[in-house]
């Protein structure tokens, strides 16, 4: 059993996180329950920041809030002194509700609406990461809402294929995101933004994908970007003040995953930028990164209550739990794999091999296939590890299941940070259909 962060097995043989017994958490808050190990999030945040400080490099570490956004989460990010990447009006609204410093918010997205851009300009946030030519025009249309010049990064696709699931690679040329670096779009975007004095072109951005274990993709992206920067410096006198290299740093879900420490990703990035800056003879830009998964992924654990069991003789044992694809779509969407334990029997030997089935009406709603566990009975507590990123964030109401509660645990204290939804919440926006009575 691989335990992340402050997770441990206590004297009662129960899984404990942040000094709190998960069996008590399940009793107090119900299941399914998302539990976040706050100390582990803080530790990761500090590792990122301290590595930049060690290199004496001007930097911003912006948490990609798409991985898990809530008022408490955003407040925690602020407490750790990070910046914030948002990708919709909703994520921006959450950040504002949380009182996050506006100047440290960066707004992403390949189809920001006019209303979203207006909101971002009215709130005078740190920068807009412009994704396409249409957005440049939209920004001009709403520019009267800006408090000064509009700070802009241009998202570029460097033509680097990250080795990860097809759905989460983003740096390749054939992508819905960003301006192509190799096909002239990036040059044209720089020209259009610079020739309009409503904009302040801060720099460039790229993000090559997610759940990446190798550093070669980052190195290649940096080399491609800086080769272009040299060209821009010589031909159009453009040198970016900021180079944002996105996120994508992988984490360990199962033993098949072999991530490197977050500090090592940052070391490799900074060393390559140093090399390129010397080679191209340009001033050292501010380096920004946008980790999502690597900040919160392994800090999250989902607790479920075990229910029905079905035996298919000589084939498989299905063990159903009280959640599933509605609170964690990743196994169904990306064939993602997870590890789990029986949290109330964490010291008992594994005697069974079972497959964990969700309760949604889909055969594909399977959380884990063929996992060894102690003999499980109804009402046992299953803890699935590493669900902190893109779990709650991608939850749905499929089958009209209510979204779970979320608690933060730290130093023996548990705090509810998102309430469990109620049935009433589910129908809150539903309206009755008033059938018009046909006249005879």
- State yes or no: 316 annotated in a binding site: no
Cβ atoms within 10 Å of 198's Cβ, excluding its own: 14
Instruction: Decide which of ligand LYS, ligand PLP, none touches 330; Cβ closer than 5 to 8 Å per partner kind.
Output: ligand LYS
Closest C-alpha among 73, 58, 54 to residue 295: 73
Q: Residues 129, 155: contact at Cβ < 8 Å?
A: yes
- SS3 of the chain: helix, strand, coil, percent, to 5: 35, 25, 40
| Three-class SS state of 190 | helix
Q: Does the annotation flag 391 for ligand binding?
A: no
Does 106 sit near ligand PLP (CB under 6 A)? no
Min dist. Cβ of residue 379 to ligand LYS (A): 30
Binding mask 354-393 for ligand LYS (x = CB under 6 A): ------------------------------------x---
Interface residues for ligand PLP in 332-391 (CB under 6 A)? 389
Binding string, residues 189-218; x marks residues near ligand PLP by CB under 6 A: ------------------x--x--------
Any long-range contacts for 316-320 (C-beta under 8 Å, 24+ apart)? 316/355, 316/370, 317/352, 317/353, 317/354, 317/355, 318/354, 318/355, 318/357, 319/354, 319/355, 319/356, 319/357, 319/373, 319/376, 319/382, 320/356, 320/357, 320/358, 320/359
User: Considering the complex, what minimum distance in angstroms separates the CB of residue 174 from ligand LYS?
Assistant: 16
Give yes or no for residue 290 binding ligand PLP (CB under 6 A).
Answer: yes
Cβ at position 56, least distance to ligand LYS in Å: 30
Verify binding: residue 210, ligand LYS, rule CB under 6 A: yes
**Which residue, among 283, 270, 266, has the nearest Cα to 230 in the 3D structure?**
283
Q: Where does this chain touch ligand PLP (CB under 6 A) — which range of 91-99, 184-192, 240-248, 380-388?
A: 240-248
Q: Which does residue 249 bind out of ligand LYS, ligand PLP, none, counting CB within 5 to 8 angstroms by kind?
A: ligand PLP
Minimum gap (Å) between residue 168 Cβ and ligand LYS = 5
Q: In what order do the strands lie in the sheet with 20-21?
A: 8-9, 15-17, 20-21
Please report, in range form, the residues annotated as the binding site for substrate. Answer: 293, 330, 334, 362, 390
Contacting positions for ligand LYS (CB under 6 A): 66, 168, 210-211, 330, 334, 390
Please report, in range form, the residues annotated as the binding site for pyridoxal 5'-phosphate. Answer: 248, 290-293, 390
């Amino acid at each position: 059993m691989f335990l992340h962060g402050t997770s441990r097995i206590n004297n009662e043989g129960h899984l404990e996180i942040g000094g709190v017994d998960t069996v008590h958490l399940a009793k107090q808050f119900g299941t399914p329950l998302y539990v976040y190990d706050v100390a582990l999030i803080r530790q990761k945040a500090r590792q990122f920041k301290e590595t930049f400080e060690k290199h004496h490099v001007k930097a911003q570490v912006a948490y990609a809030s798409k991985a898990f956004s809530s008022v408490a989460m955003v407040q925690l990010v602020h407490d750790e002194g990070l910046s914030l990447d948002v990708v919709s009006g909703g994520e921006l609204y959450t950040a504002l509700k949380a009182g996050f410093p506006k100047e440290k918010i960066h707004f992403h997205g390949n189809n920001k609406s006019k209303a979203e851009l207006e909101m971002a300009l009215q709130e005078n946030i740190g920068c807009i990461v412009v994704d396409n030519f249409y957005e440049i025009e939209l920004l001009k249309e709403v520019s009267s809402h800006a408090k000064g010049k509009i700070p802009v990064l241009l998202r570029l696709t460097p033509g680097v294929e990250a080795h990860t699931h097809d759905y989460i690679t983003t740096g390749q040329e054939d992508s819905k995101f960003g301006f192509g670096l190799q096909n002239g779009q990036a040059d044209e975007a720089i020209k259009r933004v610079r020739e309009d004095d409503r904009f302040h072109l801060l720099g460039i951005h790229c993000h090559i994908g997610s759940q990446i274990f190798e550093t070669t993709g980052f190195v290649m992206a940096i080399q491609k970007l800086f080769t272009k920067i040299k060209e821009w410096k010589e031909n159009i006198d453009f040198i970016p003040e900021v180079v944002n290299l996105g996120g994508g740093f992988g984490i360990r879900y199962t033993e098949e995953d072999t991530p490197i420490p977050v500090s090592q990703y940052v070391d490799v990035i900074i060393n390559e930028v140093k090399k390129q800056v010397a080679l191209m003879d340009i001033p050292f830009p501010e380096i920004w990164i946008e980790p999502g998964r690597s900040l919160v992924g392994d800090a999250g654990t989902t607790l479920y209550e075990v229910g029905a069991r079905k035996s298919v003789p000589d084939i498989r044992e299905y063990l159903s739990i009280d959640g599933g694809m509605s609170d964690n779509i990743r196994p169904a969407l990306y064939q993602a794999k997870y590890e789990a334990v029986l949290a109330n029997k964490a010291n008992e030997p594994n005697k069974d091999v079972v497959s964990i089935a969700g309760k949604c009406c889909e055969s594909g709603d399977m959380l884990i296939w063929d996992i060894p566990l102690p003999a499980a009975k109804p009402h046992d507590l299953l803890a699935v590890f590493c669900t902190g990123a893109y779990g709650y964030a991608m939850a749905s109401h499929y089958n009209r299941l209510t979204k779970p509660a979320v608690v933060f645990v730290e130093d023996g204290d548990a705090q509810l940070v998102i309430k469990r939804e109620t049935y009433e919440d589910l129908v809150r926006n539903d309206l009755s259909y008033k059938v018009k009575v046909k006249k005879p």
